[in-house]
């Protein structure tokens, strides 16, 4: 199912791929200025539709083709009778397309004025055409001041192609970035706009078709949201039994950490696993089973033959929640490796993996950026600098399917990369990652491939968080997701 299904999802592209498509379009008798005019028309329509009563439109233009988009948009607004103020820097030599756009703008009576932060702060509507996909290096002091003024204003902000200050391939921000209400990206959605810091700065992300579709090469990077998942979970047969829904052993919960394994095991049940056994410290039996008697429990002081039998009983193993990094946890991780079962490796199992590196094609690793940094021997900042590179490096070193959690989770199996811009900041609390690992294990046990289980679980987890956050993201608990996981696996 996975490869055929993923091919139908919305493709995401690198800047290099988009530029190759633009070059192909130009060779096929389309000029770059034609593309500028198409982009400007899309922006003009959004402004006319969404802000028809705005008294004045303030447009900020850079010196590249993003600036040309801004000037061309300004020309269309002037022709429509709108009042336009255009601010730009004159410190750079304009590109050919920008020069054409400036000439057209001036022929309609438009005037370019220098950047004025006082006016920017008081603006009602701002069109951000400062920096496009080609911006390199740090921002000048002038641009930092301009962007800061936009962000201090109460204006409704439309960014053209990308919010100025955001790296379109990675989603990271320069010193500052435009905090847009809407980003209208042209030709193709740039892969970085759905992950990392771009999740905050883009606002509503829309794609404007400017005719590049026939020239874009096939992409292995895809976007996945719940709207892409119709009829994934088919109704169960009327004669099905619990054995048909899979058996999972969830391993973890060293002394003082019973909550993590309890959350992972319940989410495993809520996501549809037929039978779940918890392998944990004996003293955690009461905590785990009193409030969730549907769970089975095996107390483990040391890894003996009984533990191996419990691992052998399961179809899928989930290890890591509350596991700790002592010999107890390490011996359980070794036992899971020897069991040669499909596995989900999370939390402290990942921290142990840093010191005892293993590679396995039949597991799913679920690191957050800090854990990913430890697995790769780099800083968290280095991981976040390029999440796409990090997820590839993790797969090369450890194999299997990698779920790099965060704002815009990445799921990668060595061939396809799925970007899931789901969930909300309420997930940034203890236990939410444990819930995700349980969902993944449950779906694997129900017959989904490791890749399918991973990306389906990420979307279910994120959508459950959105439903749980109806009373607010702050103070949301991992356990608040449970009823919504149950709901979603029956709705999607």
pLDDT band at residue 240, thresholds of 50, 70 and 90?
A: confident
Q: Is residue 277 part of a domain?
A: yes
Q: What pLDDT does 230 receive?
A: 72
Domain check: are 309 and 431 in the same one?
A: yes
Classify residue 290: in a domain, yes or no.
Answer: yes
- Please give the Cα distance from 249 to 332 (Å, whole number): 12
pLDDT, the chain, mean: 95
Kindly calculate the radius of gyration of the chain based on its CA atoms and give it in whole angstroms.
Answer: 26
Q: Which helix (H) or strand (E) holds 238?
A: none
Distance between CA 464 and CA 483 in Å, rounded?
8
Q: In angstroms, rounded to a whole number, what is the distance separating the alpha carbons of residues 71 and 65?
A: 10
Is the same domain home to 383 and 238?
yes
In percent, how much of the chain has pLDDT > 90?
89
The pLDDT of residue 95: 85
216 lies in the same domain as 243: no
Indicate whether 359 and 434 sit together in one domain: yes
Q: Is residue 254 part of a domain?
A: yes
Length of the chain in terms of residues written: 492
- pTM for the predicted model, two decimal places: 0.95
Tell me: do 293 and 207 sit in the same domain.
no
Token output for 465:
């968080």
Predicted pLDDT at 463: 97
- For residue 89, the model assigns a pLDDT of 82
- 5 in a domain, yes or no? no
CA angle 105, 108, 110 (to 5 degrees): 55
Which tokens go with 151?
């962000």
Neighbouring residues of 458: CB distance < 8 A, sequence distance ≥ 6: 224, 403, 409, 411, 418, 420, 422, 436
Cβ–Cβ < 8 Å for 288, 295: yes
Residue 91's pLDDT band (cuts 50, 70, 90): low
Select from 194, 220, 246 the last residue of a domain: 220
Question: What is the DSSP code string of 383-408?
Answer: HHHTHHHHHHHHHHHH-SEEEE-SSS
Confidence bin at 134 (pLDDT 50/70/90): confident
Average pLDDT over residues 291-297: 94
Does 233 lie in the same domain as 198? no
Total domains in the chain come to 2
On whether residue 1 sits in a domain, the answer given is no
Q: Has residue 2 been placed in a domain?
A: no
Question: 356: pLDDT confidence band, cut at 50, 70 and 90?
Answer: confident
Distance CA 392, CA 387 (A): 9
CATH code for the domain in which residue 115 is found: 3.40.50.10260
- Residue 459: inside a domain, yes or no? yes
User: Which whole-number Å values give the CA distances from 422 to 10, 384, 407, 409, 418, in the listed order?
Assistant: 15, 18, 8, 8, 12
Structure tokens at 372: 């990913």
- Assess whether 358 and 471 both reside in one domain: yes
10-21 in b/e form (b: 16+ CB < 10 A) is bbbbbbebbebb
Q: Based on the fold, state whether residues 195 and 235 are members of the same structural domain.
A: no
Give the span between the Cα atoms of 17 and 187, in whole angstroms: 11
Domain boundary among 196, 220, 244: 220
User: Residues 210, 233: one domain?
Assistant: no
pLDDT band at 417 (very low <50, low <70, confident <90, very high): very high
Q: Is residue 3 in some structural domain?
A: no
Check: CB of residue 140 under 8 Å from CB of residue 174. Answer: no
Q: Is residue 478 a contact partner of residue 431, using CB atoms and an 8 Å limit?
A: yes
- Each residue's pLDDT tens digit, 33-42: 999 999 999 9
Is there a single domain that holds both residue 210 and residue 281? no
C-alpha triplet 385, 388, 393: angle, nearest 5°: 95
Stretch 469-488: mean pLDDT, rounded? 96
CA atoms within 13 A on the CB side of 17: 20
CATH number reported for the structural domain that contains residue 437 in this entry = 3.40.1190.20
* Rounded Cα–Cα distance for residues 291 and 44 (Å): 57
Q: Tell me, yes or no, whether 121 and 157 share the same domain.
A: yes
Do 486 and 382 belong to one domain? yes
pLDDT of res. 58: 98
Asked if 116 and 87 count as a contact pair (C-beta separation under 8 A), the reply is: yes
Range of the domain at 419: 228-491
Give the other-Cβ count within 10 Å of 224's Cβ. 23
The CA distances from residue 246 to 273, 279, 283, 378, 447, in Å, are: 5, 17, 27, 37, 8
Domain boundary among 177, 200, 220: 220
Query: Per-residue pLDDT tens for 314-327?
Result: 999 999 999 999 99
User: Around Cβ 469, how many Cβ atoms within 10 Å?
Assistant: 20
pLDDT in tens, 38-88: 999 999 999 999 999 999 999 999 988 999 999 999 999 999 999 999 999
Look at residue 81 in the predicted model and tell me its pLDDT: 97
Exposure string over 380-406, b if 16+ CB within 10 A, otherwise e: eeebbebbbebbbbbbebbbbbbbbbb
């Amino acid at each position: 199912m996975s490869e055929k299904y993923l091919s139908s999802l919305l493709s995401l592209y690198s800047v290099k791929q988009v530029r190759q498509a633009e070059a192909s379009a130009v060779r096929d008798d389309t000029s770059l200025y034609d593309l500028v005019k198409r982009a400007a028309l899309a922006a003009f329509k959004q402004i006319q539709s969404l802000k028809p009563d705005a008294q004045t439109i303030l447009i900020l233009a850079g010196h590249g083709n993003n600036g040309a988009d801004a000037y061309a948009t300004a020309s269309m607004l002037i022709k429509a009778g709108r009042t336009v103020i255009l601010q730009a820097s004159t410190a750079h030599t304009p590109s050919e397309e920008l020069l054409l756009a400036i000439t057209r703008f001036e022929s309609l009576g438009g005037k370019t004025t220098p950047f004025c932060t006082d006016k920017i702060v008081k603006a009602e509507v701002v069109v951000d055409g400062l920096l496009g996909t080609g911006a390199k290096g740090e921002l000048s002091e002038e641009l930092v001041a301009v962007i800061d003024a936009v962000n201090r204003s109460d204006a409704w902000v439309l960014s053209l192609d990308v919010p100025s200050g955001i790296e379109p391939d990675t989603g990271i921000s320069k010193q500052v970035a435009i905090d847009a209400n809407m980003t209208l990206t042209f030709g193709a959605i740039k892969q970085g706009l759905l992950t990392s810091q771009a999740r905050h700065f883009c606002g509503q992300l829309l794609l404007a078709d400017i005719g590049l579709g026939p020239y874009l090469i096939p992409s292995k990077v895809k976007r996945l949201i719940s709207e892409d998942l119709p009829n994934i979970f088919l109704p169960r047969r009327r004669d099905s039994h619990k054995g048909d829904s899979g058996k999972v052993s969830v391993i973890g919960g060293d002394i003082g950490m019973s909550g993590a394994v309890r959350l992972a095991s319940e989410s495993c049940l809520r996501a549809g696993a037929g039978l779940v056994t918890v392998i944990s410290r004996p003293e955690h039996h009461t905590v785990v089973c009193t409030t969730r008697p549907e769970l089975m429990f095996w107390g483990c002081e040391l890894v003996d033959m009984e533990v191996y039998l419990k691992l052998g009983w399961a179809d899928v193993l989930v290890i890591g929640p509350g596991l700790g990094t002592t010999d107890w946890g390490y011996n359980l991780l070794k036992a899971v490796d020897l069991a040669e079962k499909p596995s989900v490796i999370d939390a402290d199992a990942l921290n142990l993996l840093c010191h005892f590196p293993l590679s396995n094609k039949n597991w799913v690793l679920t690191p957050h950026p800090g854990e990913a940094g430890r697995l790769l021997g780099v800083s968290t900042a280095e991981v976040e600098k390029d999440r796409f590179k990090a997820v590839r490096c993790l797969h090369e070193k450890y194999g299997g399917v990698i779920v790099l959690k965060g704002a815009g989770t990445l799921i990668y199996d060595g061939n396809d990369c799925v970007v899931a811009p789901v969930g909300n900041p309420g997930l940034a609390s203890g236990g939410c990652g444990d819930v995700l690992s349980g969902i993944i294990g449950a779906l694997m046990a129900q017959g989904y491939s490791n890749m399918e289980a991973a990306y389906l679980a990420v979307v279910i987890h994120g959508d459950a968080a959105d439903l749980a956050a109806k009373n607010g993201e702050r103070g949301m608990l991992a356990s608040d997701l449970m009823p919504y996981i149950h709901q979603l696996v029956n709705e999607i």
